[in-house]
Amino acid sequence: MPATPPSDKALVPFVSVENMMKLVHHIGIEPMLRGLADYIEQDFRRWDLFDKTPRIASHSTEGVIELMPTSDGEVYGFKYVNGHPKNTRNGLQTVTAFGLLADVSNGYPVLLSEMTVLTALRTAATSGMVAKHLAPKGADTMAMIGNGAQSEFQSLAMKAICGLTSVRLWDIDPAATHKTAHNLKGLGLNVHVCDSAESAMEGAQIITTCTADKQYATILTDNMIGSGVHINAIGGDCPGKTELAPGVLHRSDIFVEYPEQTRIEGEIQQLPPDHPVTQIWEVINGTKPGRTSAGQIILFDSVGFAIEDFSALRYVRDHIGGTDLYLPLDLLADPDDPRDLFGMVQRAAPVA
């Protein structure tokens, strides 16, 4: 196994699920979450350089399959991702993904990676990065509504990036809450298991909702939300899928990644298309204000955006050097004469 990414352009570094998990342990999950947040923030600061488009979605009655492309003019990236809420009934993941980076100058891939684990990490890192800018000063407690595959990552990202000390858990499935509480044991958080969404929000300055049912749902009603909170709405978004009552949206100042995508898939699909929102990159760049008062209710209507995946892949590319945590994948044809692809095929050794 080489110690640095292969110099042969025909060999593409491939990070498998096993090696991604090893990379997390090699770096440490909290340092990796902080590092991913830094990379995402760096790329949001150069927002204008990127190609931007809503993700290309193929919807079905069972779920959605999406492609999420972007480029900064030098590197191109995309992610393939699905969202199938019923998968867990059959022992499958709700979300799976893989992604690729390529050199714009010649079109050759430079990294292929699993992104099921990496998407969980980058989603949590984005939440923590945004909360760092928008949550109430000194926030130390989060209500985690929905205790599925994202919940531990979200909790640890808020701890690593924002200094969270306590998390209050609730899910309609008590087994999911038990799983999350068990997984977070010994990781430096005070974990409270709650018997309702309302009780989970007691004393919480940050409220994260992460549910996956493909329907209009009301996870948070208007009377559940007090002044001054930061709402981090990250559930499996798509047209026709929401988590918050319209009254919550009308009381909140709303921040989004990319409005053209969020108005299709996010909570704000419930609002008129001209309802004002602020793009989070504008807050990071200092061109728009974030939180301006202690009593302000802020909603981060997060649906995930391709630049975040680009940042995560860029982070992995920069951190696999000097490790054996990838495989050199024979993905690209490399004939001695670029015009003689057929001759290369003809000269291949026949199968015995």
pTM: 0.93
The model's pLDDT over 116-174, given as tens digits with 9 standing for 90+, comes to: 999 999 999 999 999 999 999 999 999 999 999 999 999 999 999 999 999 999 999 99
In this structure, are residues 239 and 264 in contact, taking their beta carbons and an 8 Å threshold?
yes
Q: Which residues contact 255 (CB under 8 A, 6 or more apart)?
A: 130, 134, 277, 278, 279, 280, 283, 290, 298, 299, 300, 301
Q: Does residue 3 have a pLDDT over 50?
A: no
Rounded to an integer, the average pLDDT of 15-34 is: 98
Q: 10 Å Cβ neighbour count for 149?
A: 20
The model's pLDDT over 196-236, given as tens digits with 9 standing for 90+, comes to: 999 999 999 999 999 866 566 678 888 889 999 999 999 75
| pLDDT band, residue 350 (cuts 50/70/90) | confident
Q: Does residue 63 have a pLDDT over 90?
A: no
In this structure, are residues 176 and 201 in contact, taking their beta carbons and an 8 Å threshold?
no
In this structure, are residues 219 and 244 in contact, taking their beta carbons and an 8 Å threshold?
yes
Residue listed under structure tokens 């959605």? 64
In this structure, are residues 273 and 247 in contact, taking their beta carbons and an 8 Å threshold?
no
The model's pLDDT over 243-267, given as tens digits with 9 standing for 90+, comes to: 899 999 999 999 999 999 999 989 9
In this structure, are residues 63 and 239 in contact, taking their beta carbons and an 8 Å threshold?
no
- Per-residue pLDDT, 120: 95
- Per-residue pLDDT, 240: 79
Alpha helices in 212-337 (DSSP H): 246-251, 259-265, 280-284, 306-319
Percent of the chain with pLDDT over 90: 81
Verify whether residue 51 is a known catalytic residue.
Answer: no
Q: What is the DSSP string of 191-225?
A: EEE-SSHHHHTTT-SEEEE----SSEEEEE-GGG-
The model's pLDDT over 39-57, given as tens digits with 9 standing for 90+, comes to: 999 999 999 999 999 999 8
Q: Does residue 5 have a pLDDT over 80?
A: no
The domains of the chain, with CATH numbers, are 11-117+307-347 (3.30.1780.10), 125-304 (3.40.50.720)
Q: Does residue 1 have a pLDDT over 50?
A: no
Tokens encoding 83:
């969202």
- Per-residue pLDDT, 237: 66
Angstrom distance (rounded) from CA 179 to CA 283? 36
| pLDDT band, residue 83 (cuts 50/70/90) | confident
Angstrom distance (rounded) from CA 214 to CA 261? 17
Pick from 207, 205, 202, 227: nearest CA to 219: 207
- Per-residue pLDDT, 242: 85
* Average pLDDT of the residues of the chain: 93
- Per-residue pLDDT, 2: 37
- Per-residue pLDDT, 10: 78
Q: Does residue 311 have a pLDDT over 90?
A: yes
Helix or strand run (H / E) with residue 71: strand 64-71
User: Catalytic: which of 43, 140, 171, 237?
Assistant: 237
Region of poorest pLDDT, from 82-86, 175-179, 246-250, 275-279: 82-86
Tokens encoding 101:
């980076």
- Per-residue pLDDT, 303: 93
Buried b (16+ CB within 10 A) or exposed e, 201-211: beebbbbbbbb
Q: Does residue 351 have a pLDDT over 80?
A: no
